[in-house]
Amino acid sequence: MSKFHSTVSRRDFMKGLGLAGAGLGAAAATTPVFHDLDELISAGDVKSDPMANFKRPWWITEREFKNPTTEIDWSILQAWDWNYEPSGTNDWHPRFGTLKPELCPDTALRQRVEEGMAIHAEFAARVTSFNDQQWNAQAPGWALRDKALSTGAGYLSFGRGLAPVPFEGNRVTTPEERGVPKWTGTPEEATNMLRTAAHYYGSAKIGVVEHDADTKKMFYPNGVRFEGIDQAYQDGGVSVIPNKCQWSAYFTSRDSDEGKKRDETSQSGISRYVWGPIIHGRVQSFVKSLGYQMPKAGAMNVPMSVLSGNGELGRSSKTITPEWGAFGGYAPGMVTDLPLAPTKPIDAGIWKFCKACKLCGEICQETTGTSSIPLETEPTWEIDSPCNRVGVKKYHQKWLTCIGFGCGVNYCDKVCPFSTKGKGFASAHELVKATVGTTSIFNGFFTTMGKAFYGAPSQPRDEKDFADFWEHDLNAWPYDTILGAGSGPNGGR
Protein backbone atom coordinates (compact mmCIF):
# COMPACT_ATOMS: atom_id res chain seq x y z
CA MET A 1 0.00 0.00 0.00
CA SER A 2 2.88 2.37 0.71
CA LYS A 3 3.21 3.33 -2.95
CA PHE A 4 -0.20 4.96 -2.74
CA HIS A 5 0.84 7.24 0.08
CA SER A 6 2.70 10.04 -1.63
CA THR A 7 2.38 13.77 -1.34
CA VAL A 8 0.74 15.26 -4.43
CA SER A 9 -0.52 18.76 -5.01
CA ARG A 10 -3.58 19.53 -7.11
CA ARG A 11 -1.22 21.18 -9.63
CA ASP A 12 0.85 17.98 -9.91
CA PHE A 13 -2.33 16.01 -10.38
CA MET A 14 -3.66 18.35 -13.05
CA LYS A 15 -0.27 18.31 -14.72
CA GLY A 16 -0.41 14.54 -14.81
CA LEU A 17 -3.72 14.83 -16.58
CA GLY A 18 -2.27 17.38 -18.97
CA LEU A 19 -4.54 20.11 -17.63
CA ALA A 20 -2.09 22.38 -15.83
CA GLY A 21 -1.27 25.66 -17.53
CA ALA A 22 -1.04 29.37 -17.25
CA GLY A 23 -4.79 29.60 -16.86
CA LEU A 24 -4.62 28.03 -13.42
CA GLY A 25 -2.85 31.17 -12.22
CA ALA A 26 -3.29 32.20 -8.64
CA ALA A 27 -5.77 29.43 -7.94
CA ALA A 28 -3.10 26.83 -8.58
CA ALA A 29 -0.66 28.58 -6.28
CA THR A 30 -3.05 28.37 -3.36
CA THR A 31 -4.51 24.92 -3.96
CA PRO A 32 -4.46 22.41 -1.11
CA VAL A 33 -1.98 19.59 -0.86
CA PHE A 34 -3.24 16.02 -0.75
CA HIS A 35 -1.25 13.70 1.46
CA ASP A 36 -2.24 10.38 -0.01
CA LEU A 37 -4.36 8.85 -2.72
CA ASP A 38 -7.26 8.10 -0.36
CA GLU A 39 -7.46 11.75 0.50
CA LEU A 40 -7.23 12.69 -3.14
CA ILE A 41 -10.01 10.34 -4.19
CA SER A 42 -12.38 11.58 -1.52
CA ALA A 43 -11.49 15.23 -1.97
CA GLY A 44 -13.98 17.65 -3.38
CA ASP A 45 -17.56 17.53 -2.24
CA VAL A 46 -17.84 14.03 -0.88
CA LYS A 47 -16.73 14.99 2.62
CA SER A 48 -18.88 18.09 2.83
CA ASP A 49 -21.91 17.62 0.55
CA PRO A 50 -24.32 14.75 1.31
CA MET A 51 -25.56 14.85 -2.31
CA ALA A 52 -22.08 14.88 -3.89
CA ASN A 53 -22.56 11.58 -5.71
CA PHE A 54 -26.20 12.11 -6.68
CA LYS A 55 -26.33 15.49 -8.39
CA ARG A 56 -29.71 16.42 -9.75
CA PRO A 57 -30.57 18.65 -12.71
CA TRP A 58 -30.58 22.42 -12.16
CA TRP A 59 -34.36 22.74 -12.10
CA ILE A 60 -34.71 20.64 -8.94
CA THR A 61 -34.10 22.89 -5.94
CA GLU A 62 -33.50 21.96 -2.32
CA ARG A 63 -35.69 23.29 0.47
CA GLU A 64 -35.10 23.62 4.19
CA PHE A 65 -35.20 20.58 6.45
CA LYS A 66 -38.72 19.62 7.58
CA ASN A 67 -40.22 22.00 5.00
CA PRO A 68 -41.24 19.97 1.94
CA THR A 69 -43.50 21.39 -0.78
CA THR A 70 -46.51 19.89 1.05
CA GLU A 71 -47.27 22.17 3.97
CA ILE A 72 -46.88 20.62 7.44
CA ASP A 73 -47.93 22.06 10.79
CA TRP A 74 -45.49 20.25 13.07
CA SER A 75 -47.19 21.68 16.16
CA ILE A 76 -50.36 19.65 15.57
CA LEU A 77 -48.96 16.68 13.63
CA GLN A 78 -49.05 13.52 15.73
CA ALA A 79 -47.73 9.99 15.44
CA TRP A 80 -50.19 7.71 13.63
CA ASP A 81 -50.75 3.96 13.49
CA TRP A 82 -53.27 1.52 12.03
CA ASN A 83 -54.57 0.35 15.36
CA TYR A 84 -53.78 3.16 17.74
CA GLU A 85 -56.27 4.81 20.03
CA PRO A 86 -54.78 8.34 19.88
CA SER A 87 -55.12 8.22 16.05
CA GLY A 88 -58.79 7.23 16.42
CA THR A 89 -58.23 4.07 14.38
CA ASN A 90 -58.54 1.50 17.11
CA ASP A 91 -59.78 -1.95 16.11
CA TRP A 92 -61.86 -1.09 13.09
CA HIS A 93 -59.41 -0.09 10.37
CA PRO A 94 -60.08 -2.23 7.25
CA ARG A 95 -56.33 -2.60 6.69
CA PHE A 96 -55.85 -3.94 10.18
CA GLY A 97 -56.45 -7.57 11.00
CA THR A 98 -59.11 -7.15 13.66
CA LEU A 99 -61.79 -5.91 11.24
CA LYS A 100 -64.37 -5.06 13.83
CA PRO A 101 -66.42 -2.18 12.44
CA GLU A 102 -68.86 -2.63 15.30
CA LEU A 103 -66.17 -1.15 17.56
CA CYS A 104 -66.11 2.07 15.58
CA PRO A 105 -67.77 4.67 17.85
CA ASP A 106 -68.99 6.97 15.07
CA THR A 107 -72.08 5.76 13.20
CA ALA A 108 -71.36 7.53 9.91
CA LEU A 109 -67.76 6.37 9.97
CA ARG A 110 -68.82 2.82 10.81
CA GLN A 111 -71.04 2.83 7.75
CA ARG A 112 -68.14 3.96 5.57
CA VAL A 113 -65.89 1.28 7.05
CA GLU A 114 -68.51 -1.37 6.22
CA GLU A 115 -68.87 -0.01 2.69
CA GLY A 116 -65.09 -0.03 2.29
CA MET A 117 -64.90 -3.63 3.50
CA ALA A 118 -67.61 -4.65 1.04
CA ILE A 119 -65.72 -2.98 -1.84
CA HIS A 120 -62.47 -4.70 -0.81
CA ALA A 121 -64.18 -8.10 -0.54
CA GLU A 122 -65.97 -7.69 -3.86
CA PHE A 123 -62.74 -6.63 -5.57
CA ALA A 124 -60.73 -9.48 -4.01
CA ALA A 125 -63.35 -11.98 -5.23
CA ARG A 126 -63.21 -10.45 -8.71
CA VAL A 127 -59.40 -10.71 -8.76
CA THR A 128 -59.47 -14.34 -7.58
CA SER A 129 -62.05 -15.26 -10.19
CA PHE A 130 -60.11 -13.42 -12.93
CA ASN A 131 -56.87 -15.16 -11.94
CA ASP A 132 -58.55 -18.57 -11.93
CA GLN A 133 -60.05 -17.96 -15.36
CA GLN A 134 -56.74 -16.83 -16.80
CA TRP A 135 -54.91 -19.82 -15.36
CA ASN A 136 -57.55 -22.30 -16.50
CA ALA A 137 -57.53 -20.79 -19.98
CA GLN A 138 -53.70 -20.70 -19.96
CA ALA A 139 -53.97 -17.07 -21.08
CA PRO A 140 -50.76 -15.25 -22.13
CA GLY A 141 -48.73 -14.47 -19.01
CA TRP A 142 -50.26 -17.41 -17.10
CA ALA A 143 -48.09 -20.32 -18.24
CA LEU A 144 -46.44 -22.53 -15.64
CA ARG A 145 -43.11 -20.75 -16.14
CA ASP A 146 -44.82 -17.40 -15.45
CA LYS A 147 -46.35 -18.80 -12.26
CA ALA A 148 -42.95 -20.17 -11.26
CA LEU A 149 -41.42 -16.75 -11.90
CA SER A 150 -43.87 -15.14 -9.53
CA THR A 151 -43.29 -17.82 -6.89
CA GLY A 152 -39.51 -17.36 -7.11
CA ALA A 153 -39.90 -13.61 -6.79
CA GLY A 154 -41.67 -14.22 -3.48
CA TYR A 155 -38.44 -15.17 -1.74
CA LEU A 156 -37.82 -12.48 0.90
CA SER A 157 -40.35 -10.29 -0.89
CA PHE A 158 -42.13 -7.78 1.33
CA GLY A 159 -45.47 -9.22 2.38
CA ARG A 160 -44.85 -12.60 0.71
CA GLY A 161 -41.53 -13.58 2.26
CA LEU A 162 -40.64 -17.22 2.62
CA ALA A 163 -38.02 -16.11 5.15
CA PRO A 164 -37.86 -12.79 6.98
CA VAL A 165 -34.76 -10.59 6.97
CA PRO A 166 -33.40 -10.81 10.57
CA PHE A 167 -34.09 -7.76 12.75
CA GLU A 168 -30.40 -7.17 13.45
CA GLY A 169 -29.24 -8.39 10.05
CA ASN A 170 -27.07 -11.36 9.24
CA ARG A 171 -23.94 -12.31 11.13
CA VAL A 172 -20.90 -10.39 9.86
CA THR A 173 -17.28 -10.07 10.96
CA THR A 174 -17.11 -6.82 12.89
CA PRO A 175 -14.14 -4.42 12.85
CA GLU A 176 -13.53 -5.45 16.49
CA GLU A 177 -13.21 -9.09 15.43
CA ARG A 178 -10.87 -8.02 12.66
CA GLY A 179 -8.78 -6.10 15.22
CA VAL A 180 -9.27 -2.74 13.50
CA PRO A 181 -11.12 0.43 14.54
CA LYS A 182 -14.65 1.03 13.21
CA TRP A 183 -14.98 3.16 10.08
CA THR A 184 -14.96 6.91 10.65
CA GLY A 185 -15.47 9.86 8.35
CA THR A 186 -17.56 12.99 8.04
CA PRO A 187 -21.37 12.53 8.13
CA GLU A 188 -21.51 13.77 4.52
CA GLU A 189 -18.94 11.19 3.49
CA ALA A 190 -20.96 8.52 5.29
CA THR A 191 -24.14 9.49 3.41
CA ASN A 192 -22.34 9.38 0.05
CA MET A 193 -20.72 6.07 0.97
CA LEU A 194 -24.04 4.56 2.02
CA ARG A 195 -25.64 5.74 -1.22
CA THR A 196 -22.83 4.18 -3.26
CA ALA A 197 -23.14 0.83 -1.44
CA ALA A 198 -26.95 0.84 -1.58
CA HIS A 199 -26.86 1.67 -5.28
CA TYR A 200 -24.57 -1.26 -5.89
CA TYR A 201 -26.93 -3.49 -3.93
CA GLY A 202 -29.94 -2.43 -6.00
CA SER A 203 -31.27 0.86 -4.61
CA ALA A 204 -31.64 3.61 -7.18
CA LYS A 205 -30.98 6.36 -4.61
CA ILE A 206 -31.30 7.11 -0.91
CA GLY A 207 -32.54 9.86 1.39
CA VAL A 208 -31.55 10.46 5.02
CA VAL A 209 -33.57 11.98 7.87
CA GLU A 210 -32.18 13.09 11.21
CA HIS A 211 -34.49 12.27 14.13
CA ASP A 212 -35.90 14.91 16.43
CA ALA A 213 -39.19 15.21 18.30
CA ASP A 214 -40.95 16.09 15.02
CA THR A 215 -39.52 13.52 12.63
CA LYS A 216 -39.88 10.76 15.24
CA LYS A 217 -43.65 11.21 14.84
CA MET A 218 -43.30 9.44 11.49
CA PHE A 219 -42.47 6.13 13.20
CA TYR A 220 -45.41 3.81 13.89
CA PRO A 221 -45.95 4.13 17.66
CA ASN A 222 -47.08 0.50 17.88
CA GLY A 223 -44.00 -0.71 16.04
CA VAL A 224 -41.02 1.35 17.18
CA ARG A 225 -39.91 2.71 20.59
CA PHE A 226 -36.77 4.77 21.23
CA GLU A 227 -34.91 4.24 24.51
CA GLY A 228 -31.59 5.21 26.12
CA ILE A 229 -30.09 1.78 25.53
CA ASP A 230 -26.95 0.64 23.79
CA GLN A 231 -28.19 -2.16 21.55
CA ALA A 232 -31.46 -2.46 19.61
CA TYR A 233 -33.74 -5.36 20.51
CA GLN A 234 -37.27 -6.59 19.89
CA ASP A 235 -39.92 -6.52 22.58
CA GLY A 236 -42.70 -8.66 21.15
CA GLY A 237 -43.79 -6.84 18.03
CA VAL A 238 -42.05 -3.61 19.02
CA SER A 239 -38.58 -2.67 17.78
CA VAL A 240 -36.76 -0.96 20.65
CA ILE A 241 -34.20 1.43 19.18
CA PRO A 242 -31.32 3.16 21.00
CA ASN A 243 -31.62 6.95 21.06
CA LYS A 244 -28.14 7.09 19.57
CA CYS A 245 -29.63 5.74 16.33
CA GLN A 246 -30.27 9.34 15.41
CA TRP A 247 -30.66 8.84 11.67
CA SER A 248 -32.67 6.73 9.29
CA ALA A 249 -32.00 6.14 5.61
CA TYR A 250 -34.68 5.42 2.96
CA PHE A 251 -33.67 3.21 0.05
CA THR A 252 -35.55 3.63 -3.22
CA SER A 253 -36.62 0.28 -4.60
CA ARG A 254 -37.96 0.85 -8.09
CA ASP A 255 -40.72 -0.64 -10.14
CA SER A 256 -40.00 -1.15 -13.82
CA ASP A 257 -42.21 0.21 -16.60
CA GLU A 258 -42.26 -3.16 -18.25
CA GLY A 259 -43.11 -4.96 -15.01
CA LYS A 260 -46.00 -2.57 -14.37
CA LYS A 261 -47.39 -3.36 -17.82
CA ARG A 262 -47.47 -7.00 -16.82
CA ASP A 263 -49.57 -6.38 -13.71
CA GLU A 264 -52.54 -8.72 -13.46
CA THR A 265 -50.47 -11.59 -14.86
CA SER A 266 -47.93 -13.91 -13.30
CA GLN A 267 -45.14 -11.96 -14.99
CA SER A 268 -45.72 -9.00 -12.70
CA GLY A 269 -43.83 -10.39 -9.71
CA ILE A 270 -40.62 -8.41 -10.34
CA SER A 271 -41.24 -5.18 -8.51
CA ARG A 272 -40.40 -2.85 -5.67
CA TYR A 273 -41.44 -5.28 -2.93
CA VAL A 274 -39.22 -8.00 -4.33
CA TRP A 275 -36.07 -5.91 -4.12
CA GLY A 276 -36.72 -3.84 -0.98
CA PRO A 277 -35.98 -6.48 1.67
CA ILE A 278 -32.92 -7.75 -0.20
CA ILE A 279 -31.50 -4.23 -0.40
CA HIS A 280 -32.16 -3.95 3.34
CA GLY A 281 -30.35 -7.19 4.14
CA ARG A 282 -27.31 -6.23 2.10
CA VAL A 283 -27.09 -2.69 3.46
CA GLN A 284 -27.45 -4.00 7.02
CA SER A 285 -24.45 -6.29 6.52
CA PHE A 286 -22.47 -3.40 5.05
CA VAL A 287 -23.18 -1.04 7.95
CA LYS A 288 -22.57 -3.74 10.56
CA SER A 289 -19.25 -4.56 8.92
CA LEU A 290 -18.25 -0.92 9.38
CA GLY A 291 -18.92 -1.26 13.12
CA TYR A 292 -22.40 0.30 13.46
CA GLN A 293 -26.00 -0.81 14.03
CA MET A 294 -28.76 -0.76 11.46
CA PRO A 295 -31.72 -2.69 12.88
CA LYS A 296 -34.63 -3.45 10.59
CA ALA A 297 -36.89 -0.63 11.73
CA GLY A 298 -37.84 2.46 9.83
CA ALA A 299 -40.55 5.07 9.80
CA MET A 300 -43.40 5.34 7.27
CA ASN A 301 -41.64 5.37 3.93
CA VAL A 302 -43.73 8.01 2.13
CA PRO A 303 -43.40 10.88 4.63
CA MET A 304 -39.74 10.13 5.24
CA SER A 305 -39.04 9.85 1.53
CA VAL A 306 -40.62 13.25 1.05
CA LEU A 307 -38.76 14.79 4.01
CA SER A 308 -35.46 13.36 2.76
CA GLY A 309 -35.92 14.62 -0.80
CA ASN A 310 -36.35 11.30 -2.59
CA GLY A 311 -39.42 12.88 -4.16
CA GLU A 312 -42.43 15.12 -3.47
CA LEU A 313 -45.81 14.08 -2.13
CA GLY A 314 -48.34 13.68 -4.95
CA ARG A 315 -52.10 14.04 -5.06
CA SER A 316 -52.20 10.24 -4.94
CA SER A 317 -50.53 10.25 -1.47
CA LYS A 318 -47.50 8.51 -2.99
CA THR A 319 -43.94 9.76 -3.24
CA ILE A 320 -43.55 11.07 -6.78
CA THR A 321 -39.90 11.24 -7.76
CA PRO A 322 -38.56 13.56 -10.46
CA GLU A 323 -36.64 10.62 -11.93
CA TRP A 324 -39.23 7.82 -12.10
CA GLY A 325 -42.49 9.30 -10.83
CA ALA A 326 -44.54 6.92 -8.69
CA PHE A 327 -42.48 3.95 -9.94
CA GLY A 328 -39.61 5.22 -7.76
CA GLY A 329 -41.91 5.96 -4.86
CA TYR A 330 -41.23 3.01 -2.56
CA ALA A 331 -38.26 3.57 -0.24
CA PRO A 332 -38.28 1.40 2.89
CA GLY A 333 -35.99 2.68 5.64
CA MET A 334 -33.81 1.60 8.52
CA VAL A 335 -32.37 3.45 11.52
CA THR A 336 -28.67 3.58 12.31
CA ASP A 337 -26.08 4.97 14.71
CA LEU A 338 -23.66 5.56 11.83
CA PRO A 339 -23.56 9.37 11.84
CA LEU A 340 -25.10 10.48 8.54
CA ALA A 341 -25.68 13.90 7.01
CA PRO A 342 -29.40 14.35 6.31
CA THR A 343 -30.63 15.17 2.80
CA LYS A 344 -33.08 18.01 2.16
CA PRO A 345 -36.63 18.02 0.78
CA ILE A 346 -36.87 19.06 -2.87
CA ASP A 347 -39.01 21.15 -5.18
CA ALA A 348 -39.22 19.79 -8.72
CA GLY A 349 -42.59 21.44 -9.40
CA ILE A 350 -44.46 18.16 -8.80
CA TRP A 351 -46.72 19.27 -5.96
CA LYS A 352 -47.71 22.37 -7.91
CA PHE A 353 -48.34 20.21 -11.00
CA CYS A 354 -50.78 18.05 -9.02
CA LYS A 355 -53.13 21.02 -8.66
CA ALA A 356 -53.83 21.02 -12.39
CA CYS A 357 -53.30 17.34 -13.04
CA LYS A 358 -55.93 15.03 -11.63
CA LEU A 359 -55.13 12.00 -13.74
CA CYS A 360 -54.60 9.64 -10.80
CA GLY A 361 -57.99 10.56 -9.30
CA GLU A 362 -59.74 10.30 -12.64
CA ILE A 363 -58.32 6.87 -13.48
CA CYS A 364 -59.22 5.65 -10.01
CA GLN A 365 -62.83 6.63 -10.63
CA GLU A 366 -62.91 5.14 -14.11
CA THR A 367 -61.34 1.80 -13.26
CA THR A 368 -62.46 1.07 -9.73
CA GLY A 369 -65.42 3.34 -9.18
CA THR A 370 -64.13 4.06 -5.69
CA SER A 371 -62.99 7.68 -6.13
CA SER A 372 -60.36 7.28 -3.47
CA ILE A 373 -58.26 10.25 -4.60
CA PRO A 374 -59.81 13.71 -4.10
CA LEU A 375 -60.34 15.73 -7.28
CA GLU A 376 -60.48 19.18 -5.69
CA THR A 377 -57.97 21.67 -7.06
CA GLU A 378 -56.74 22.91 -3.69
CA PRO A 379 -55.28 20.71 -0.93
CA THR A 380 -56.81 20.96 2.53
CA TRP A 381 -55.96 20.55 6.21
CA GLU A 382 -59.30 18.70 6.68
CA ILE A 383 -58.81 14.96 6.97
CA ASP A 384 -61.20 12.50 5.30
CA SER A 385 -61.23 10.04 8.21
CA PRO A 386 -58.97 9.00 11.12
CA CYS A 387 -57.02 7.03 8.50
CA ASN A 388 -55.38 10.33 7.54
CA ARG A 389 -52.73 12.15 9.52
CA VAL A 390 -53.69 15.48 11.06
CA GLY A 391 -51.31 18.41 10.43
CA VAL A 392 -50.62 18.05 6.69
CA LYS A 393 -52.25 20.22 4.02
CA LYS A 394 -52.76 17.73 1.22
CA TYR A 395 -55.23 15.70 -0.85
CA HIS A 396 -56.32 13.32 1.88
CA GLN A 397 -56.71 9.85 0.44
CA LYS A 398 -59.99 8.04 1.12
CA TRP A 399 -58.21 4.98 2.44
CA LEU A 400 -61.38 3.21 3.45
CA THR A 401 -62.17 2.52 -0.19
CA CYS A 402 -58.70 2.42 -1.76
CA ILE A 403 -58.54 -1.14 -3.01
CA GLY A 404 -54.84 -0.77 -3.66
CA PHE A 405 -54.64 -2.05 -0.09
CA GLY A 406 -55.76 -5.47 -1.15
CA CYS A 407 -55.12 -5.80 -4.87
CA GLY A 408 -51.99 -3.76 -5.58
CA VAL A 409 -53.34 -2.63 -8.94
CA ASN A 410 -52.27 0.98 -8.41
CA TYR A 411 -53.72 2.45 -11.60
CA CYS A 412 -52.95 5.81 -10.00
CA ASP A 413 -49.20 5.10 -10.23
CA LYS A 414 -49.35 3.99 -13.83
CA VAL A 415 -51.11 7.07 -15.12
CA CYS A 416 -48.90 9.62 -13.33
CA PRO A 417 -47.06 11.70 -15.96
CA PHE A 418 -43.90 11.61 -13.85
CA SER A 419 -43.72 7.83 -14.01
CA THR A 420 -41.31 6.71 -16.66
CA LYS A 421 -43.66 5.88 -19.44
CA GLY A 422 -42.25 8.90 -21.24
CA LYS A 423 -38.98 7.05 -21.68
CA GLY A 424 -39.53 6.55 -25.38
CA PHE A 425 -39.44 10.31 -25.77
CA ALA A 426 -36.77 10.81 -23.15
CA SER A 427 -35.46 14.20 -24.22
CA ALA A 428 -38.94 15.65 -24.65
CA HIS A 429 -39.89 14.20 -21.29
CA GLU A 430 -36.88 15.79 -19.59
CA LEU A 431 -37.76 19.12 -21.19
CA VAL A 432 -41.28 18.85 -19.82
CA LYS A 433 -39.94 18.02 -16.35
CA ALA A 434 -37.55 20.98 -16.48
CA THR A 435 -40.39 23.28 -17.49
CA VAL A 436 -42.64 21.93 -14.73
CA GLY A 437 -39.82 22.42 -12.24
CA THR A 438 -39.42 26.04 -13.30
CA THR A 439 -42.92 27.35 -13.93
CA SER A 440 -46.45 26.12 -13.37
CA ILE A 441 -48.08 28.07 -16.22
CA PHE A 442 -47.94 25.13 -18.66
CA ASN A 443 -49.14 22.51 -16.17
CA GLY A 444 -52.71 22.39 -17.53
CA PHE A 445 -51.39 22.03 -21.09
CA PHE A 446 -48.98 19.23 -20.12
CA THR A 447 -51.78 17.39 -18.33
CA THR A 448 -53.93 17.50 -21.46
CA MET A 449 -50.96 16.34 -23.55
CA GLY A 450 -50.28 13.53 -21.08
CA LYS A 451 -53.87 12.36 -21.35
CA ALA A 452 -53.80 12.46 -25.12
CA PHE A 453 -50.48 10.70 -25.59
CA TYR A 454 -50.05 8.33 -22.70
CA GLY A 455 -52.92 7.16 -20.53
CA ALA A 456 -52.17 4.14 -18.36
CA PRO A 457 -49.55 1.75 -19.73
CA SER A 458 -51.30 -0.90 -21.72
CA GLN A 459 -50.98 -4.57 -20.94
CA PRO A 460 -49.08 -6.72 -23.36
CA ARG A 461 -51.89 -9.07 -24.27
CA ASP A 462 -50.78 -11.30 -27.08
CA GLU A 463 -48.75 -14.48 -26.96
CA LYS A 464 -45.73 -12.81 -28.51
CA ASP A 465 -45.47 -10.06 -25.86
CA PHE A 466 -45.47 -12.59 -23.08
CA ALA A 467 -43.16 -15.01 -24.88
CA ASP A 468 -40.73 -12.14 -25.59
CA PHE A 469 -40.21 -11.82 -21.85
CA TRP A 470 -38.47 -15.21 -21.88
CA GLU A 471 -36.42 -14.43 -24.95
CA HIS A 472 -35.16 -10.90 -24.36
CA ASP A 473 -31.49 -10.14 -24.79
CA LEU A 474 -29.74 -10.91 -21.52
CA ASN A 475 -26.49 -9.36 -22.73
CA ALA A 476 -28.05 -6.08 -21.70
CA TRP A 477 -27.96 -6.90 -17.99
CA PRO A 478 -27.76 -4.91 -15.72
CA TYR A 479 -29.04 -2.24 -18.09
CA ASP A 480 -32.01 -4.47 -18.75
CA THR A 481 -35.30 -2.77 -19.47
CA ILE A 482 -37.43 -5.68 -18.36
CA LEU A 483 -36.14 -7.63 -15.40
CA GLY A 484 -33.85 -5.36 -13.49
CA ALA A 485 -34.95 -1.99 -14.75
CA GLY A 486 -36.28 -1.20 -11.34
CA SER A 487 -33.44 -2.18 -9.20
CA GLY A 488 -30.47 -3.71 -10.90
CA PRO A 489 -27.09 -2.61 -9.59
CA ASN A 490 -27.30 0.45 -11.81
CA GLY A 491 -30.63 1.33 -10.29
CA GLY A 492 -32.08 1.26 -13.75
CA ARG A 493 -30.46 4.51 -14.72
How many chain residues bind ligand SF4 (CB under 6 A)?
26
The nearest distance, CB 179 to ligand SF4, in angstroms, is: 52
Q: Are strands 224-227 and 238-242 parallel, antiparallel or unpaired?
A: parallel
CA dist., res. 194 & res. 201, Å (int): 10
Residue closer to ligand SF4, measured from CB, 402 or 482: 402
Question: Contact with ligand SF4 (CB under 6 A): which of 68, 259, 314, 488?
Answer: 314
List 10, 254, 272, 315, residue binding ligand SF4 (CB under 6 A): 315
Residue 208 found at the interface with ligand SF4 (CB under 6 A): no
The helix or strand, by DSSP H or E, that contains position 208, with its residue range, turns out to be: strand 206-210
Stretch of 213-221, 275-283, 410-418, 460-468 lying at the interface with ligand SF4 (CB under 6 A): 410-418
Question: According to the binding rule CB under 6 A, does residue 412 interact with ligand SF4?
Answer: yes
436 near ligand SF4, rule: CB under 6 A? no
CB of 352 to ligand SF4, least distance (A): 10
Q: Does 305 bind ligand SF4 (CB under 6 A)?
A: no
> d(Cα 28, Cα 44) in Å, to the nearest integer?
15
What binding mask, one character per residue, do residues 458-477 give for ligand SF4 by CB under 6 A, x or -?
--------------------
The answer to whether 293 and 216 are in contact (CB under 8 A) is no
Yes or no: say if 249 and 206 are a contact pair by the CB < 8 Å rule.
yes
Smallest gap from residue 387 Cβ to ligand SF4 (A): 12
**DSSP output for 25-54:** HHHHHT--EE-SHHHHHTTGGGGT-TTTTS
Dist CA 51 CA 206 (whole Å)? 10
Q: State the nearest-atom distance from the C-beta of 440 to ligand SF4, in Å.
A: 12
Cβ proximity to ligand SF4, 57 vs 369, nearer residue = 369
Q: Which is nearer to ligand SF4, 110 or 355 (CB)?
A: 355
Q: Is 410 in the site for ligand SF4 (CB under 6 A)?
A: yes
Q: What's the DSSP call for residue 377? A: S
169 Rama sector, left if φ>0, alpha if ψ -120 to 50, beta otherwise: left
Contacts of 23 (CB under 8 A, 6+ apart): none
**CB distance 328 to 321 below 8 Å:** yes
> Which segments of 308-418 does DSSP mark as H helices, in order?
350-356, 359-368, 404-407, 411-415
Q: Alpha helices of 232-358 — where are they, by DSSP H?
A: 257-261, 272-290, 301-307, 350-356
Q: Which is nearer to ligand SF4, 29 or 441 (CB)?
A: 441
Q: Is 416 in the site for ligand SF4 (CB under 6 A)?
A: yes
Beta bridge partners of 392: 72
> Given the complex with ligand SF4, which of 154 and 406 has the nearer CB atom?
406
20 versus 409: smaller Cβ distance to ligand SF4: 409
Q: Smallest distance from the beta carbon of 399 to ligand SF4, in angstroms?
A: 8
Which H/E stretch holds residue 347? strand 346-347
Can you tell me which of 409, 434, 440, 478 binds ligand SF4, judged by CB under 6 A?
409
Please list every residue from 351 through 380 that binds ligand SF4, using CB under 6 A.
Answer: 353-354, 357-360, 364, 368, 370, 372-373
Q: Are 256 and 271 in contact (CB under 8 A)?
A: yes
Q: Does 119 bind ligand SF4 (CB under 6 A)?
A: no
We find the least distance from the C-beta atom of residue 303 to ligand SF4, in angstroms, to be 16
Q: Which is nearer to ligand SF4, 358 or 421 (CB)?
A: 358
Q: How far is the CB of 315 from ligand SF4 (least distance, A)?
A: 4
CB of 470 to ligand SF4, least distance (A): 29
- Please identify, using beta-carbon distances, which residue of 283 and 402 lies nearer to ligand SF4: 402
CB closer to ligand SF4, 54 vs 446: 446
What is the per-residue binding string for ligand SF4 in 375-404, x denoting contact by CB under 6 A? ---------------------------xxx
Measured from the CB atom, is 202 or 417 closer to ligand SF4?
417
Cα distance between residue 432 and residue 99, in whole Å: 45
Bridge partners, 395 (sequence order): none
The Cα–Cα gap between 486 and 204 comes to: 8
Which of these, 202, 206, 204, 182, lies nearest to 192 by C-alpha position? 206
Largest distance between two CA atoms of the chain: 82
- Least separation in angstroms between CB 319 and ligand SF4: 10
Measured from the CB of residue 373, what is the shortest distance to ligand SF4 in angstroms?
Answer: 5
Instruction: Report strand pairing: 312-313 vs 233-235.
Output: unpaired
Amino acid at 161: G
Cis ω on the peptide bond leading into residue 478 (within 30° of 0)? yes
For the bound state, the minimum distance from the C-beta of residue 317 to ligand SF4, rounded and expressed in Å, comes to: 8
| DSSP string over 354-368 | HHH--HHHHHHHHHH
Q: Is 417 a binder of ligand SF4 (CB under 6 A)?
A: yes
The Cα 415–Cα 320 span in angstroms is: 12
Name the residues that contact ligand SF4, by CB under 6 A: 314-316, 320, 353-354, 357-360, 364, 368, 370, 372-373, 402-404, 409-412, 415-418
